[in-house]
Structure 1
Amino acid sequence: MSTLHDTAVRGFASDNYSGIHPEVLAAIAAANEGHQIAYGEDAYTERLQQIFAQHFGEGVQAFPVFNGTGANVTALQSMLPRWGP
């Protein structure tokens, strides 16, 4: 029988109710200090773009989103015409 804290059993139903990795939570807490300019013009997004350019080459753009659904919508919109199949 599985319990809430059973680490041997993993479910893949949704990323919206799974736990967060402790290092990710610590990074979010650290980023919550001070103020940043609006999304896209902040130091965190700039650093993300630099890291992606290092890994994938100049000209690449990363668009961080909240969850898997947001990532799926962004990916599909980048490949398909706005009102087309």
Structure 2
Amino acid sequence: MCLSIPSKVVALHPDEQAVTVETMGVKRKVSSHLLSDPLELDDYVLIHIGFVMNKIDKADAEQSLALYQEIVKKMDEQEY
């Protein structure tokens, strides 16, 4: 199973067909070769193995990120 967390585009690298994304505080450069539509700063995308697979709606992305943050918080509160 693959779990894709929405990532926000924070830098564009058009000469490399790449973007830098931020995912829950972690930044990394990923390829945008597979996406036909151009990306802009603050777009939200889903990534698989280092490639942008699709652009997603900002409201949906923010809702998903809030749920992920809630899951992480609950996991941190649990004792192992």
TM-score interval for Structure 1 and Structure 2 normalised by the shorter chain: under 0.3
Normalising by structure 1, we get a TM-score of: 0.26
More helix by share: 1
Relative contact order (alpha carbons < 8 A, sep ≥ 6): 1 or 2 greater? 2
Flag the structure with larger Rg. Answer: 1
Normalising by structure 2, we get a TM-score of: 0.27
More strand by share: 2
